[in-house]
Amino acid sequence: MILFPAIDLKNGQCVRLEQGDMARATVFNLDPAAQARAFAAQGFEYLHVVDLDGAFAGKPVNALAVEAMLKTITMPVQLGGGIRDLATVEAWLAKGVARVIIGTAAVRDPQLVKSAARQFPGRVAVGLDARDGKVAVQGWAETSEVTALEIAGRFEDAGVAAIIFTDIARDGLLKGLNFEATIALAESISIPVIASGGFASIDDVKALLMPRAKKLAGAIAGRALYDGRLDSAAALALIRNARAAA
Amino acid sequence: MSVAIIDYGSGNLHSAAKAFERAARGMENPQQIVVTRDPEVVYRADRIVLPGVGAFADCRKGLDSLDGMIEAMTEAVRSKARPFFGICVGMQLMATRGKEHVTTNGFNWIAGDVEKISPREENLKIPHMGWNTLDVLRDHPVLERLDLGPKGRHAYFVHSYHLNTANEADVLARADYGGPVTAIVGKDTAIGTQFHPEKSQRFGLALIANFLKWKP
């Protein structure tokens, strides 16, 4: 189980949104690279970064901030937001992103995910963000009529490294992860699933370490880490102990 | 496997349906070609074809008159990733806007406007009617083994407007008619041709066959 701290970028700053609403953004750090260094110092092993403006624009917008982060930390970074073509995938991977997250294009252009995953094994993840069970795209501004499982099913055997499943209704609201839906998805496909949206407290860490969540490859924590509700040292210690016991 | 050809009163519907039937017959796994006005059938189809001749606004109006059709089509293509083939005005409707006489909204799948062509040479008439070769700008599964290029096969055009895309990456092929004319566009699981594959003989059938084989 990997606990990913999240850095979401808007106008070059590190923000948290509520339910993906750009109008409900709280700035937590003006310097994303400093935030990335802080997470590295706390002992996290993998960073989750989203270019929010990029997700809306359909192309990278906060590239400078991402590059500044890549230069300052050695911890691997997964990056999503505005990655819609092979050239963008290639460019980010060449710049040192450990893996890219494809969201909107996974819905509209499944061939892109398949080609990218074939060309860059282990370095392509799919981001599926659901509102009432249906996948949303374009920075969550548009909701489709398809379920996460339908989309995920397209990529069985395609070599996708992970599926990051976000429950939009919970995101940024500290209500706890949606274990039920995420575990159901993880049990229906062979691609590793990472839970996201609503990470609230140490209780979520404990729940992630329970046997019923063993199918989950990890979880993403955002606001709870920034407002101190989730103590990173305690969370990482629990995970380390669980690994040692396994 | 079914291929839904949307019937909204467009003039080239029957020739398009015939061409798709002919191309499908020659394939290993024949696909059923269904001409339909029913959004449910379109939503459930494995592939969707939108023909179209005439004025942009009239075609849009014709489609709008089929209750729920644009929604069904959009959902099938944009969420279910079903392959889509727009022909002539069916292709132009994929644009952000049409600017033929009046400004009319398209589906906005491909950023750009449908604008009047303006050939440099005065002797080149509008509408542009005739056979042209195509210059391929980008590889695409539907363009495989088609023998295109300046000495390649010809496509049949009849139009006064073309899709001027905002992003060059969305153009798969161009023709030249006193200046560049957008001939084939492609984005995600949708493609569209300004020319008429149903009137472009062997090349048109080969293109349609490639579309029927395409598994995005």
Nearest to B78 among A85, A108, A110 (CB): A108
Q: Which pLDDT tens digit goes with each residue over A11-35? A: 999 999 999 999 999 999 999 999 9
Considering the candidates B88, B100, B115, B162, report the single residue annotated as catalytic: B88
Q: Which two tokens stand for residue B80?
A: 């279910």
Among residues B135, B157, B163, B146, which one has the least CA distance to residue B211?
B146
What amino acid is encoded at B44 in this protein? R
Q: How many CB pairs under 8 A join A and B?
A: 31
Architecture of domain B2-213: 3-Layer(aba) Sandwich (3.40)
DSSP string, A171-191: TTS-S---HHHHHHHHHH-SS
Q: How many domains does chain A have?
A: 1
| Interface contact B75, partner A, CB < 8 A | yes
A243 CB-contact burial (10 Å; exposed 0-12 / middle 13-18 / buried 19+): exposed
The per-type count for chain A, helices as H runs and strands as E runs, is 11, 12
For residues A48-58, give the mean pLDDT. 96
Look up residue B143 and give its DSSP letter.
Answer: G
Cβ neighbours of B121 (radius 10 Å): 8
> What is each CA distance from A139 to A59, A124, B157, in whole angstroms?
11, 19, 39
Q: What pLDDT, on the 0 to 100 scale, is given for residue A142?
A: 86
B chain contacts of residue A135, beta-carbon cutoff 8 Å: 79
> What is each CA distance from A124 to A61, A120, B56, in whole angstroms?
20, 7, 40
Look up residue B160 and give its DSSP letter.
Answer: S
> What is each CA distance from A2 to A18, A168, A236, A239, in whole angstroms?
23, 21, 9, 8
What is the CATH number for A196?
A: 3.20.20.70
Quote the CA–CA distance of B49 and B16 in Å, as a whole number. 9
Active site residue A204: no
Q: Which pLDDT tens digit goes with each residue over A95-154? A: 999 999 999 999 999 999 999 999 999 999 999 999 988 999 888 888 888 999 999 999
Please identify every stretch of chain B with a pLDDT value under 50, giving residue numbers as ranges.
none
Q: What pLDDT, on the 0 to 100 scale, is given for residue B29?
A: 82
pLDDT bracket for residue A172 (50, 70, 90): confident
Q: What pLDDT, on the 0 to 100 scale, is given for residue A105?
A: 94
Quote the CA–CA distance of A238 and A3 in Å, as a whole number. 11
Q: Which two tokens stand for residue A166?
A: 């976000």
Q: Which pLDDT tens digit goes with each residue over B56-110? A: 999 999 999 999 999 999 999 999 999 999 999 999 999 999 999 999 999 999 9
Q: What pLDDT, on the 0 to 100 scale, is given for residue A133?
A: 86
Among residues B171, B88, B187, which one has the least CA distance to residue B134?
B171
Q: Which residue of A has its CA nearest to B81?
A: A108
Look up residue A235 and give its DSSP letter.
Answer: H
Owning domain of residue A72: 2-245
CA atoms within 13 A on the CB side of B97: 10
Contact call for residues B185 and B171 (beta carbons, < 8 A): yes
Mutate to test the interface with A, among B73, B79, B214 (most CBs of A within 10 A): B79
What pTM was computed for the model? 0.89
Q: What pLDDT, on the 0 to 100 scale, is given for residue B65?
A: 96
Q: Could you identify the residue written with the tokens 């394939």?
A: B27
**Please, what is the Cα angle at A104 between A98 and A106, to 5 degrees?**
70
Q: What are phi and psi of A69, to 5 degrees?
A: -65, -45
| Interface contact A146, partner B, CB < 8 A | yes
Q: What pLDDT, on the 0 to 100 scale, is given for residue A246?
A: 80
Strand order in the sheet with B190-193: B32-36, B2-6, B47-50, B84-87, B190-193, B180-187, B171-176, B135-136
Active site residue A8: yes
Quote the CA–CA distance of A4 and A232 in Å, as a whole number. 11
